[in-house]
Amino acid sequence: MESIRNIYCVGRNYVLHAAELGNEVPKSPMIFSKPTHALIQARGQVIDLPGDRGEIHYETEFVIQIAKPYETGMKAEDVVDRFALGIDFTLRDVQSELKKKGHPWLLAKGFPNSAVITEFREFPGTEVCKARSFSLIKNGEEVQRGSLSDMIFDLDTIISFCADHFGIGPGDLIYTGTPAGVGAVKNGDELQLKWDGEILGHCSIHLSERIEGAVQYE
């Protein structure tokens, strides 16, 4: 497959998630990015995460892949070819300290293996996706469930905003935000990412004292 270029992420794109963390609902898309070294595909393997920097929270997300150069006025159906599910892992204690200081979130969001991705599927269109749901199962229990219909900023708005402010093109990924229900992972947790009840990816968690680096997406 073509190489991944940029990884954009949307923060606070579900009202209930903003509320559970005590954050205001944004009036325009809140975008941050992750380095490509953060990307790892969930294939049933053990994924190493840092265990010495405070709590790590899972944030399950619907992910789109950009396939074509963007032109003003284009819709998601014009530029997106595939979708996947992902987890935006966040060093929550680190993020809280960064927010207090007014610093960027990169240290809390960009560490190796912090951008989990499932296998990709053909994008069937926004309306089809809005009628379905995605979920995260942790140790056999559903902990998150979301739908595109509940997003504050829809796919068209997110794509247009990213294009206007950063530029987007083939190979870019956009993590579109997480619903309520985020929480900490612990050593040995088993995670499954489901789309409309079907498992698209799964992995288990190992909290390590030192991370050697991410496994590149193939």
For 59-107, how does the pLDDT look when each residue is reduced to its tens digit (9 = 90+)? Answer: 999 999 999 999 999 999 999 999 999 999 999 999 999 999 999 999 9
Q: In this structure, are residues 53 and 93 in contact, taking their beta carbons and an 8 Å threshold?
A: yes
Domain membership of residue 213 (yes or no) is: no
Q: Is residue 218 part of a domain?
A: no
Q: DSSP string of 43-60?
A: SS-EEEEESSSS-EEE-E
* Number of structural domains the chain divides into: 1
**Residue 29 maps to which CATH number?**
3.90.850.10
Whether 217 is in a domain gets the answer no
Whether residue 214 lies inside any domain: the answer is no
35 neighbors 110 (Cβ within 8 angstroms) = yes
The boundaries of the domain holding residue 53 are 6-207
Asked if the structure places residue 172 within a domain, the reply is yes
**Structural domain includes residue 55:** yes
**Does residue 130 surpass a pLDDT of 60?**
yes
| Residue 22 predicted with pLDDT over 80 | no
Inside any domain, residue 179:
yes
Q: How confident is the model at residue 1 (pLDDT cuts 50, 70, 90)?
A: very low
> 212 lies in a domain?
no
CA distance 125 to 13: 19
For residue 107, the SS3 value is helix
Q: What is the mean pLDDT of residues 120-143?
A: 97
Give pTM, 2 decimals: 0.93
